[in-house]
Each structure stands twice: as structure tokens, then as C-alpha cells.
């Protein structure tokens, strides 16, 4: 997926969830360590930035961003396919 489309989808998701649940805590988690982190393109790093930017763009004390690398930052927690 291209960056512009990814950003548009993230923005839509963030706006929809926060507008329909204005007083509920919502956690936006960027991608965990994945196969893309070991490839040449390494788009996952940029995807993490975009999720963080869009989550923080919403000025709500109920919208929280968690970098997926804080949850799983290396391949030791993944199966041999680097996805599960």
C-alpha cells in the first residue's frame, strides 16, 4: 500500500473511532515488529510514524498511541513466518 492511501485509511479510522466514542479511551497501536522490518523497503517504520502522527493529530485525552515496537520489538516473539 502506498503511503498516501495508508495515511488516509489511518486518518479515517482514528477520526471515526474517536468521534463515535468521545469519552472512551482508544489505543492506536502501530505495527509490531514484522517481516517488513527485515526487508529492503522497510515501510513498517514509516507506517508507525503515520499511525502516531494521526493519533496525536486528534486533540483528545482519550486517544493514545502505542508504538508497536514497544510491544514486540524483535523477531524472537514471532513464529517462523515472521507474522504470527
Q: Give CA angle at 78 (30, 36), nearest 5°.
A: 55
Up-side HSE of residue 15: CA atoms within 13 Å toward CB? 6
Global pTM value: 0.83
Predicted local distance difference test score (pLDDT) of residue 38: 78
Predicted local distance difference test score (pLDDT) of residue 83: 64
According to DSSP, the residues that pair with 26 across neighbouring strands are 63
Q: pLDDT in tens for each of the 84 residues of the chain?
A: 899 999 999 999 999 999 999 999 999 999 988 878 877 777 889 999 999 999 999 888 999 999 999 988 777 777 776 666
Amino acid at each position: 500500500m502506498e503511503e498516501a492511501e495508508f495515511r488516509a485509511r489511518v486518518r479515517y479510522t482514528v477520526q471515526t473511532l474517536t468521534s463515535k466514542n468521545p469519552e472512551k479511551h482508544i489505543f492506536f497501536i502501530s505495527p509490531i515488529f514484522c517481516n517488513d522490518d527485515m526487508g529492503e523497503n522497510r515501510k513498517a517504520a514509516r507506517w508507525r510514524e503515520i499511525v502516531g502522527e494521526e493519533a496525536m493529530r486528534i486533540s483528545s485525552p482519550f486517544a493514545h498511541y502505542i508504538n508497536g515496537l514497544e510491544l514486540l520489538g524483535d523477531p524472537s516473539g514471532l513464529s517462523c513466518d515472521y507474522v504470527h
